Amino acid sequence: MPLRFVDASTVVATVYEAHIGATGQVPTRPIAEGFVHDALNALAWLRFPRLKARLNALQVRAIARDGLGERRGPLRDAATLFDENAIVLAVARHDPQARAVLEALRGHDWRGAFVAQRDAWERVVTPIAFGHALMQKLLRPFPSITAHAWVLDVSPRWFATDMDARCRAVDAELTPLLEALLSERAARTPLPVLGLPGWWAANAAPAFYDDVAVFRPRSGRASR
């Protein structure tokens, strides 16, 4: 059905996700508190319509099955986390340097990922911001902003396309995989976003990654 953004104050009290699923209308707060958050959500719907619709459908299905309790349950929790705070890490399929970056990120080896493998970023690994709450934080950046990253293997040809084509491919390719990814806790990894090469000028200096309050070592692993 057509996607529409409607004034949230005109929507009769109902379950947010169920209303979207039944009507195609996304309740959106106008110029008032919450507008920026909802406007970024609207932009995410326009950029990634399949992914957003799939997330909403998973929420609706879980609510219909489990009801609305104090706890959302693991799938709804993961779907909400993705919706609000996800970065999709597009990595070149079968590329050894891309795999080295992922191994370093999952091991919280921040210098290994962002300094030693710095030339891999944008060439064989590219972050695509998805979560609208994450984008809102980035309007006023602070060092400890941390996204949750989910990995999508893409063809090496993906990196030669423009951003519109890249996002369309992410939307099409990730959507059928989404439920399985959300169900697997190990599929996501924390990502301190101001450490991403090109996202913050100060991170050009390797010493930027010495702040262990932001770039935390994995528990039980000595920092570098």
Verdict on whether the full-model pTM lies above 0.85: yes
pLDDT tens per residue, range 13-50: 789 999 999 999 999 998 878 999 999 999 999 999 99
Residue 89 has pLDDT above 70, yes or no: yes
Question: Quick one: pLDDT at residue 223?
Answer: 40
Q: List the alpha helices (DSSP H) in 48-162.
A: 49-66, 74-85, 96-106, 110-111, 132-138
**Spatial contact of 77 and 185, defined as CB atoms under 8 Å apart:** no
Residue 70: pLDDT band with limits 50, 70, 90? low
Burial (CB count <10 Å: 0-12, 13-18, 19+), residue 82: buried
Q: Which residues is 128 bridged to in the sheet? A: 88
Question: Quick one: pLDDT at residue 31?
Answer: 82
**Spatial contact of 59 and 17, defined as CB atoms under 8 Å apart:** yes
Average pLDDT estimate for 74-99: 96
Residue 224: pLDDT band with limits 50, 70, 90? very low
**Spatial contact of 84 and 131, defined as CB atoms under 8 Å apart:** yes
CA-based nearest residue to 126, from 148, 156, 168: 156
Q: Which residues is 189 bridged to in the sheet? A: 149
**Spatial contact of 149 and 106, defined as CB atoms under 8 Å apart:** no
Average pLDDT estimate for 106-111: 97
d(CA 49, CA 1): 12
Domain locations along the chain: 4-75, 82-210
Question: Quick one: pLDDT at residue 186?
Answer: 85
Average pLDDT estimate for 157-175: 97
